[in-house]
Chains A and B, each alone.
Chain A
Amino acid sequence: MTQIQKKTKELAYHLFIICLLMVVLFPVLYIISISLSSSGQAEAILIPKKIGFENWKYILQIPYIDKLTNTKVISYFPILKWLGNSLKISFITSILMLLLSTTSAYALSRFDFKGRKSSLLTLMIIQMFPNIMAMVAFYFILDFLGKFFPFLGTDTHGGLILVYLGGTPFNIWLIKGYFDTIPRSIEESALMDGCNRFQVFYKIVLPLSTPILAVVGLLTFINTFSDFVLPSILLKSQDTLTFAVGIQIFISESFSSRWGQFAASCILGAFPISAIFLLIHKYIISGLSMGGTKG
């Protein structure tokens, strides 16, 4: 083969990949284009006829003049507030999740109590229960808790976070796996030197496990942010809604007329999560490959 033939072949290969990429990324490009289209109407071509930021102004609740009706428009949908809710809930959940699961993971990794192995297996199996189905019970429990601690009742973010914290087993599993690889000798000598168990845990083991803690924390963040099911049932009032539930209601009410604003809010919500995911996808895949998939 001559050099030129080789080059053309190489080029064709790249063109083929780029074509496939266009197909795969079409929905993404399309959404970006729609969000920037000032008509707000769905268009099949990727370049909007007229670029405008009305959609963005709408979701960011900045007043703007609608060109068709020539009226001042300000959105009454608190999309930013929903996004804020989601970020807040996801952040608090990740932090609390880490606190809860690291101690359990340490116990399962370092103590040799009776039934340790079988309790691990039980944890893993039980968390397979589809939590949508336990909704009646969630409701009942939160209602009960709400009588004593109003911030943990139904339709509160506290209650929702509490329900998320039930899902510790998978994270315990991931963290325990990492703890198992940390050599025990350092801890043993620290114990000999008079450290107590808890000091050994947070002075030695935790600092050594920052990579897995970061991955589990971010993973919890992503999963909580992306969850639709629990908040859709537990949250009722418009101001408490999460981003997922909010924009689902927003778009379901009127698919055709809000398409442009919806596109803009999708980008707003998806961008931070996508960015985190693309940064840590290698770790996530190796962790996930043990148990399941995203979600």
Chain B
Amino acid sequence: MRASGILLHISSLPSKYASGNLGLDAYKFVDFLYKSRQTLWQILPFNIPHASGSPYSARSSFGGNPDFISPELLVKDGLLTKEDFRKYDGDHTKLLLKAKERFSFEHPEFLAFFSFNENWLKDLALFQVLSKHFPTVWSEWPEDYKNRNQDHLDIFLKEHKDEIYFEYFCQFQFEKQWALLKKYAQKKSVTIIGDVPIFVAYHSMEVWRWPHYFKLGPNKEMIIETGAPPDDFSHHGQKWGNPNYDWEQLKKNSFKFWVDRLNYLLTKVDLVRLDHFLGFINVWEIPVSDPDASTGTWAKTPGKELFDVLKRAIPHMPFIAEDLGHITEEVRDLRKDLNIPSMKVMQFAFGSDHLNEHHPEAVEKETIYYTGTHDNNTIVGFFQTSPSEVKERIFKCFKKNHSEKNIHQSFLYSLFYSKADQVIFPIQDLLGQGESQRMNIPGTVENNWKYSFNWKDLTSHEIKFLKYLSYNSSRNIKKRSPLFSKKFPWKFMLPGLVTFFLFMILPIISTFLIGFTNLGTGHLLSQNEVYNLFLQEKYVPENSETHSFELFQDGNSYEILLENKYGARFDLSDSKKIVPLSPSEGNSNFKKLSLGEVFKIRDQLKKISFQNEDGTSLRYFRTNLLLNLKQKFLPRTGQKLYDEKNDEFYIPNTLEGFYESSDQKKRLYPGFTVFIGSKNFTSLLTDPKIGGIFLKILSWTFIWAIGSVFLTFSAGLFFALLLNRKKLKFKAFYRVLFIIPYSIPFFISVLVMRGLLNEDFGAINEILSHFGISNIPWLSDPFWAKASCLMVNLWLGFPYMLLVITGILQSIPSTLYEAAILDGASRWATLRYITFPLIMSAIVPLLIGTFAFNLNNFVGIYLLTAGGPPIIGATTPAGETDILLSYTYRLAFEGGQGQNFGLASAIAIFIFIMICFITLINFKFSGMMKEQGKR
């Protein structure tokens, strides 16, 4: 993929402190890259430098420069305070020391870091502290330290524990801050390119620790150093002051040294620039005593064998070769065989009229193309100091696309439009900065590596410019996977969504609505239904007469004959309808029904109103009598009801859901369902009868949930530790037996326990009676009922904890324990300081989950005690062991004092909000919403 990006070392980020760091400015820079559509960020080596400050001469290739630790980020961890910053006097180390005092080295994150990096961390810390105490090259340290006499080192370690731990602290913080930054860069699709110098400095942890890997004299002194032969740039060649490796020794150990080194670096960066790639073919060796490098000789390097090993260890080979300078055929072949891209620098293109490989028109595809590197001048500086014939060649190359004033932009144009797959430029060339701003002048010592840029210079103009360049030269174009379409996948989502909507969303919405109504016994119907109900109500007026009748049937048709005078045909299906009666001759050919047959269809007959000619309606009264019945309420506009007999109006009270007489003294029953606003909720809090019990139940709910978590966790931990003994036989078998209670369906276990706890014939009381303990009222006494609930839940739930904790215990690296035992820790101390913190850090989300589950563990309570024993004096069905949910269930579904769906729904909403809250916290803790797999 065609990509582009910026070369900028961490130290060059703007900062208030000694050096740029991994703090907010680094994130801001990643944001800048993202906004300007750049995907590469190349940095220099980040290890602890020597006094010269050169990143290429480090104390070790492991560990990071403590100057890069951002003090601001330490504030977030509570390790520094604002007060500390006020006292800041320019001494970055002082701040770190302060933070170290507040740091707990028992933090599981630190313990994990320590165990993962043990192979270098301890030695680096020792080397650093020893270097402070003996400020000479390590070969001049006291013999015991120089030769790494283990006993003396151990003593030194103990005596300087504080300083050693300070080094640990710095490395831990560096690691942590770096990991965060890298993750952020990844999120913003920025690839970080790191750098590995081929050699290590003589005064470095590596040479001190593994002297046999280097070509050293009999007294471990450096006798041969590496460098470069004389060329056009330096007539006497270069001496670098680094020892050469004893490559044969490295090979004997299958180049583990290099594998470890690169693997460590690749935890920090995505791509690695292999500095001085030439050195993997041969190395220019110069005797240390020689005055200059001209007397050196070439020494062969087994580069091919090394890369064969690396290919196996790091199959994707994320490398770039720094192959500048005189490159032989052999070097080129090695690079091409390995498929590693080459480096080209545009500044080198204009030395002659001859079109060389650095020229924008000659550059190949598998290349990383630079305007300049950290060792070059800036473009502006380069251009200004160039002789006129070079300038001519530059103009010729850029044709019309250049202006002398913005020469750096012309270079960037050519760079981006070149054939090279990846192009990188130092930030100075984006900002058009001059020679004074260059990073390093090789061969000099003063004023190098000091460059840093200023946010003021990086404006929206630069963002636009880079965006434009990238877009037009088709760089950093994200290729979308054809898998990820933006369209909503209806086809796949629909089946799940339909049931989810019907049986999750719809019920929840209706529950929410019901929570704001008075739905319940006496208020089950809507106003309309209640209105129609009242309209159907009839009464018998005083002095009303009865009329005898006979009924005839033919199939589905019926005929009525009233007092032998009036008749009508009707059928039962048109019930509710009014049947008008008319004068009749009484000569029906239908079959006459007996009284018993009439009695059988009386219910249907009751619904029919027979309309007499004078307008009175007659209704079924007895099997042979109709009665003049009058409608009790007459309809009036606005769904009012008029009671003719008592001359009274009834008006619907839509606030409380009743029909009320106009003087508000009389009410009609049943009432109807109305929205009563938040009354259900306020009554929970203010009504002493409901609220008091609600609070009582709420507090027991929490005691129950917390108690269950605590008990199951403690028991689970105990059994897990019991069964975690190293050489215990039948471990797995015991474990399976212990989780049997958890494997049995919940309802069965609870019902069985209910039987066992039965006061009169339960097995538990029977066993206790053998010990002279009289019957304990396990389920009928408030205290014992609660205790029983917790005990039963303990029995049911501890195997889950046992399983989970066992899983955690097995994942703790045994090296942690070995290290602790070496340090003389007791069994209890390892438990207290290693096992326990690690378990806690992993199990907290599970504890919260269990807590949330038990808050609503309806079956655990309901099947055991059914909530009982009842709370004395409660107006709602409430028991001593009721948790909120079982209480709600009983409010809604158990009659007794009438069902109250409204109040029950209000409590359900309360529970739901509570659970949502806990769940959200849990997601935060467990990182559950973080997705695996990136795109």
Contact = CB atoms under 8 A, between A and B. Distances in A.
Same complex for A and B? Answer yes
Interface of A: 13-14, 17, 20-21, 24-25, 27-28, 30-31, 41-44, 99-101, 103-104, 106-107, 110-114, 117, 120-121, 123-138, 140-141, 162-163, 165-169, 172, 177, 180-181, 184, 187-188, 191-192, 197-198, 201, 222, 225-226, 228-229, 233, 244, 247-248, 251, 255-256, 259, 262-263, 266, 269-270, 273-274, 277-278, 281, 285-286, 289-295
A125 B499 contact: no
Contact of B745 (A127, A177, A226): A226
B298 interface: no
Contacts of B722: 17, 20
Nearest to B756: A27
B853 interface: yes
20 contacts: A25-B737, A27-B753, A28-B741, A42-B761, A103-B495, A112-B486, A112-B935, A120-B929, A121-B929, A129-B504, A166-B504, A166-B507, A180-B931, A181-B933, A184-B481, A229-B859, A248-B751, A256-B760, A274-B744, A289-B846
Given A104-B496, A248-B747, A281-B803, A228 B863 contact: yes
Contact of A192 (B482, B487, B503, B752): B482
A231 B723 CA distance: 39
Contacts of B928: 124, 290-291
B747 A244 contact: yes
Contacts of B935: 112
B593 interface: no
Contacts of B742: 277, 294
A111 B492 CA distance: 10
A181 B850 CA distance: 27
Nearest to A86: B745
Nearest to B766: A44
Given A137-B510, A166-B499, A226-B746, A113 B487 contact: yes
Interface of B: 481-489, 491-493, 495-497, 499-500, 502-508, 510-511, 514, 519, 719, 722-723, 725, 728-730, 734, 736-749, 751-756, 758, 760-763, 766-767, 770, 795, 797, 800, 803-804, 807, 845-846, 849-850, 852-853, 856-859, 863, 885, 888-889, 892-893, 901, 904-905, 908, 911-912, 915-916, 919-920, 923, 926, 928-929, 931-933, 935
Contacts of A222: 745
Given A30-B756, A130-B908, A136-B901, A226 B747 contact: yes
Nearest to B920: A125
Contacts of B719: 20
CB-based closest 8 A-B pairs: A166-B503, A134-B507, A133-B908, A104-B496, A137-B507, A107-B492, A226-B745, A277-B743
A114 B800 contact: no
Q: Which of A121, A135, A136 has the most CB of B within 10 A?
A: A136
A117 B916 contact: no
Contacts of B492: 103-104, 106-107, 111, 197, 201
Given A132-B885, A289-B846, A177 B932 contact: yes
Contact of A126 (B508, B743, B850, B926): B508
Nearest to A279: B743
Given A104-B495, A166-B499, A266 B748 contact: yes
A289 B795 CA distance: 19
A126 to B, nearest CB: 6
A39 to B, nearest CB: 12
Contact of A129 (B497, B508, B904): B508
Interface centre among A162, A226, A247 (most CB of B within 10 A): A226
Contact of A165 (B499, B767, B926): B499
Nearest to B760: A256
A19 to B, nearest CB: 12
A28 B885 CA distance: 29
A194 to B, nearest CB: 12
A295 B857 contact: yes
Interface of B is mostly: helix
A17 B723 contact: yes
A141 B746 contact: no
B732 to A, nearest CB: 11
Nearest to B927: A290
Contacts of B853: 292-293, 295
B919 A124 contact: yes
B731 to A, nearest CB: 10
A21 B503 contact: no
Contacts of B486: 111-114
B489 A111 contact: yes
A269 B493 contact: no
Contacts of A244: 745, 747
A133 B888 contact: yes
A193 B745 CA distance: 48
A27 B849 CA distance: 27
Contacts of A168: 496, 499-500
Given A177-B932, A293-B800, A295-B746, A138 B755 contact: no
B54 to A, nearest CB: 43
A184 B480 CA distance: 12
A21 B734 contact: yes
Contacts of A286: 807
B886 to A, nearest CB: 9
A26 B800 CA distance: 18
Nearest to A277: B743
A31 B502 CA distance: 41
A129 B748 contact: no
Given A100-B499, A130-B885, 8 more contacts: A14-B730, A21-B734, A44-B763, A169-B500, A248-B751, A281-B739, A285-B807, A290-B928
Nearest to B493: A107
Contacts of A248: 747, 751, 863
Contacts of A117: 929, 931
Contact of A138 (B499, B503, B859): B503
Contact of A225 (B725, B745, B912): B745
A24 B859 contact: no
B901 A24 contact: no
Contact of B728 (A13, A21, A197, A263): A13
A128 B804 CA distance: 22
B755 A255 contact: yes
B912 A129 contact: yes
A42 B745 contact: no
B795 A270 contact: no
A177 B929 CA distance: 10
A281 B489 contact: no
Contacts of B797: 293
Contact of A111 (B485, B756, B795): B485
A134 B511 contact: yes
Contacts of A290: 926, 928
A110 B483 contact: yes
B912 to A, nearest CB: 5
Nearest to B857: A295
Contacts of A262: 751, 755
B747 A228 contact: yes
Nearest to B734: A17
Nearest to B796: A294
Contacts of A129: 504, 507-508, 511, 908, 912, 915
Contact of B859 (A169, A228, A269): A228
A133 B12 CA distance: 61
Contacts of B845: 289
Contacts of A165: 499, 503
Nearest to B850: A293
Contacts of A192: 482
B507 A138 contact: yes
A133 B495 contact: no
Nearest to A169: B500
Contacts of B929: 117, 120-121
Contact of B849 (A14, A127, A140, A293): A293
A140 B511 CA distance: 12
B795 A294 contact: no
Contacts of B926: 290
